Amino acid sequence: MTAKAWTIVDVTSGQVLAAGDPDARVEPASLTKIMTSYLIFEALRDKRISMDQTVIPGESVRKVGRDESRTFIEAGKPVSVHDLVYGMIIQSGNDASIALAELVGGSQQGFVELMNRAAQRMGLKNTHYTNVDGLTDPQHYTTVADIAALSTHMIQDFPEYYKIYSEKSFTYNNIRQPNRNRLLYLDPTVDGLKTGHTKEAGYCLVSTASRPLPGAPGVNRRVLSVVVGEPTERARVQDSLSALNYGYQNFDTLRVYGANQVVATPKVWKGKESELKIGVKKDTFITVPKGMADKIKPQLELREPLIAPLANGAPVGTVKVMADGKQLAEFPVVALADVPQASFIGRAWDALRLMFVKK
Active site residues: 30, 33, 92
Q: Which of 148, 80, 81, 140 is nearest to 112 (CA)?
A: 140
Sign of CA dihedral 13, 17, 23, 26: negative
Q: Is 15 within 8 Å of 26 (Cβ atoms)?
A: no
Q: Give the chain's length.
A: 359
Q: Is 265 exposed, middle or buried (0-12, 13-18, 19+ CB in 10 A)?
A: middle
Task: State the CB neighbour count (10 A cutoff) for residue 177.
Answer: 18
Q: Is 177 within 8 Å of 170 (Cβ atoms)?
A: yes
**H-helix or E-strand spanning residue 121:** helix 108-121
How far is it, in rounded angstroms, from Cα 97 to Cα 108?
9
Q: Phi and psi dihedrals of 20, rounded to 5?
A: -135, 115
Helix, strand, coil percent values for the chain (each to nearest 5): 35, 30, 35
- Secondary structure class of 79 (helix, strand, coil): strand
Annotated binding-site residues for substrate read: 194
- Secondary structure class of 169 (helix, strand, coil): strand
How far is it, in rounded angstroms, from Cα 302 to Cα 17?
30
